[in-house]
Structure 1
Amino acid sequence: MIEKKSLDLLKTLIGFDTTSFKSNLNLIKFIENYLNQYKIKSELIYDETKNKANLFATIGPNSSGGIVLSGHTDVVPVANQKWDTDPFQLIEKDQKLYGRGTSDMKSFIGLVLSRVPKIVEKKLSKPIHLAFSYDEEIGCVGVHGLLDLIEKKSIKPEFCIVGEPTSMEVVIGHKGKHAYSVKVEGLACHSGQAPFGVNAINYASKLIAYIDQLNKEKSINGPFDNDYEVPHTTLHTGLIKGGAILNIVPDLCEFEFEVRNLIKDDPLQLVKKIEDYASQKLIKDMHKVSSKTGISFNEKVNYPALDMSEDIDLVKKIKELLGNNKHKKVVYGTEAGLFKNRSNIPTIVCGPGSIDQAHKPNEFISIEQINRCSKFLDNLIDSH
């Protein structure tokens, strides 16, 4: 059984279509108005278009210390997915709640908001900060504005919990990610005169093969961290397009690749190897035919890995409040790495729902997970 207040908040949050390419302002304004009812002031940090915003609010004294409860408000698209129900209408069935964002990660935000009356009533000696971001799903974009604000305010929180879906287990580490788009510009000609052109697809394929070679080297030579499902840094090409028709040597090929790195691995060294291979081997070869050819790189996503010690007191405290002494590391990325590495705030990831349901049609969260998170938040507030 789920509490009515929590259920009502979840229904409202799921009802806002905050797919990353859309505005999240209706949801943010709802949260701002909700917090206003409890005389809690929100600060909104807008993007350049003024169509999206982060929200930051402090409950309790305006002082250093305390904890940040953090989550992202955007969700991934539902286009081309086969849903049995309206993805933006919360449906309860068989002890599960269905809807886009139920697991990733509006349930955590809704449950935090449901605890606001309790937090206010407690008259805290240390603050609890709420930090809700935009555009996490496209590369942890919006959270930088939140971190700018936190650093400007000099409040120095002592801990942060990012409520991504971890099945309410403590996550102390995740990989970093660097993603790039690559443009290979060749020289077109009739395919019967192929040696007079520069085949952009061929050169792109050589570069992709080199990226795969680096990936294989990482799988053999490491470094390794066996707390991860995939215990080494990975390199992966996931998108490619090029060519117009078979009888034209293609003058353009574009692809995207990513590096998902362990914290003990330097992703920029790997990227430099790829860029050096392109400039010193491939471009040099392309220029033998035409100096107008080339290969260019454009960074699309960049966020750091997270690595927290299991031995610090705050990690132990969270485990104690959960009644679970286990921890894990995950291959997907979160904003936690930025809280820890950019702003030096000790951070873990812990939230309701499973990543196995995230980003899929008929996304759901079990009511058992909702109740576990509710109990944890109550324990956290009582101990604060």
Structure 2
Amino acid sequence: MTLSLEVLERLVAFNTVSDRSNLAMIVYVEDFLRSRGFRVQRIVDAEEEKAGLFAEIGPSVDGGLLLSAHSDVVPVIGQDWSVPPFKLTRQGERLFGRGTTDMKGFLAEMLAVADAVHARDLKAPLKLLVSYDEEIGCVGISRMKDRLPPLLGRPRLAIVGEPTEMQVAIGHKGKRAYRADIRGEVGHSALAPTFVNALHVAVDFVGKVRGMQKVARDTGARNAAYDVPYTTFHVGQLSGGTALNFVPDKATLLCEFRHLAEDDPEEIEVQLRQAAEAVTAEFPPAAQISLQALAGYPGLSMAASDPVVSLARSWCGGDTTHVAFGTEAGVLSSLGIPTVVCGPGSMAEQGHKPDEFISMLQLNACSVMLQNGAKQVLYRS
């Protein structure tokens, strides 16, 4: 346990908020793993000063265990912290610092188990995946996705260590986010009815999105495992206009939907675009709504009866659950890899909050899970 705390202290000290480079932290993880005999490959982002990382040790065969974590954290600006956010601070059984729960605590335990297995005779490989820009919509792993299949192969099980209080999460919704650029006509407000007001067009589009939510709530697919048991629609931002006496000719809107596995995101996107067309048809030809997809990730849906779910539960002693937040597990699952989400800490209680912390109890439980997994899947008898 001492090693994982030393590693966690180093990881928290890297300010890897998503608007910053993560390369210094990636170098640290690379050096840690290479010194222990791992085969390491950096996955460089062509657009950003960032990178993901894949590492493997053991025989190059199918099976084995894949552990996955993201390197980025959410911002601390505007939050009232009582401890330095990028310095690990221990108070009793709590370890404070940005990312301790989401999700550098799990990453520290990943590296600790890497240290434990590197001197052992392995029958199957341990594979580690570190991504970036997860906090802004799983952007990093989406960019890495095409390069992953030959690297990841066919693990017996993948564990994404997002905070679940060490319960085995077998499902979460998928998500797609959009920017709507809305165009109208500029003019003097004294003649407002003779021009196309871009904000009016935008508000009518918001009404259509709310209508889609009503249909999903009243007649759509349902899954009682979720707090909100149906596909959800959300408008998060709307802006436009320059002055009260001008009819605005431009507006911008950000929206998203989070869909159940039973609902096809492609079909929902078609409906969203049809809604935009229906709105503009009610205005003069100058009205336009241009929808641009920003980010998204697939959902996760594993059967509770799946043998790998039982396997993960046997390692941690946890029950199965569904989580409200999205993870990179959906991407791994879409590559044909049996995947669950299980990690230390509580997203609801600690994730994204000031004075974020992880408890020693949760870290210990995570360590036990990974040690059990290594003994059962990786080590020769």
Scaled by the length of structure 2, what TM-score is found? 0.96
Describe the superposition over 1:102-160 as per-residue Cα deviations: whole angstroms up to 9, x where unpaired.
Answer: 11000000011012222112211010100001111111122235443331347222221
1:206 and 1:266 map into 2 onto residues whose CA distance is 25
C-alpha change, 1:33 and 1:210, in structure 2 (3 Å) is: same
C-alpha change, 1:87 and 1:373, in structure 2 (3 Å) is: same
1:16 and 1:121 map into 2 onto residues whose CA distance is 28
Partner of 2:315: 321
Instruction: Tell whether 2:298 aligns with 1:298.
Output: no
2:311 and 2:149 map into 1 onto residues whose CA distance is 25
Counterpart of 2:282 (choices 282, 285, 302) is 285
What do you get for the CA RMSD once the two structures are aligned?
A: 1.4
Q: Is the 8 A contact 1:56 1:146 kept in 2?
A: no
Partner amino acid for 2:279?
L
Partner of 1:230: 228
Describe the superposition over 1:360-382 as per-residue Cα deviations: whole angstroms up to 9, x where unpaired.
Answer: 11111111111111111111111
Partner of 2:134: 136
| Number of aligned residues | 376
Partner of 1:243: 241
Instruction: Tell whether 2:373 aligns with 1:377.
Output: no
**1:39 deviation in Å?**
2.0
**1:269 deviation in Å?**
2.0
2:272 and 2:83 map into 1 onto residues whose CA distance is 45
Describe the superposition over 1:180-217 as per-residue Cα deviations: whole angstroms up to 9, x where unpaired.
Answer: 01011110111110012111111101110110111122
Alignment of 1:192-211 (within 5 A): 192-211=190-209
Runs of 4+ in 1 over 4 A off after TM superposition: none
Partner of 1:359: 352
Describe the superposition over 1:201-248 as per-residue Cα deviations: whole angstroms up to 9, x where unpaired.
Answer: 111011101101111221111200011111100001011111111111
2:242 and 2:145 map into 1 onto residues whose CA distance is 45
1:144 and 1:123 map into 2 onto residues whose CA distance is 34
2:311 and 2:5 map into 1 onto residues whose CA distance is 28
Partner of 1:65: 63
Describe the superposition over 1:227-282 as per-residue Cα deviations: whole angstroms up to 9, x where unpaired.
Answer: 11111000010111111111111111111111000000112322222221221x32
Query: Unaligned regions of 5+ residues in structure 1, if any?
Result: none
1:218 and 1:19 map into 2 onto residues whose CA distance is 35
C-alpha change, 1:149 and 1:157, in structure 2 (3 Å) is: farther
C-alpha change, 1:383 and 1:178, in structure 2 (3 Å) is: same
1:298 and 1:124 map into 2 onto residues whose CA distance is 47
Partner of 1:344: 336
Q: Is the 8 A contact 2:344 2:363 kept in 1?
A: yes
**1:50 deviation in Å?**
5.8
- Partner SS state of residue 48, structure 1: coil
2:120 and 2:308 map into 1 onto residues whose CA distance is 21
Describe the superposition over 1:328-368 as per-residue Cα deviations: whole angstroms up to 9, x where unpaired.
Answer: 11121101001011x11010000011111111111111111
Partner amino acid for 2:231?
T
Q: Is the 8 A contact 2:96 2:358 kept in 1?
A: yes
Query: Unaligned regions of 5+ residues in structure 2, if any?
Result: none
Scaled by the length of structure 1, what TM-score is found? 0.95
**1:161 deviation in Å?**
0.5
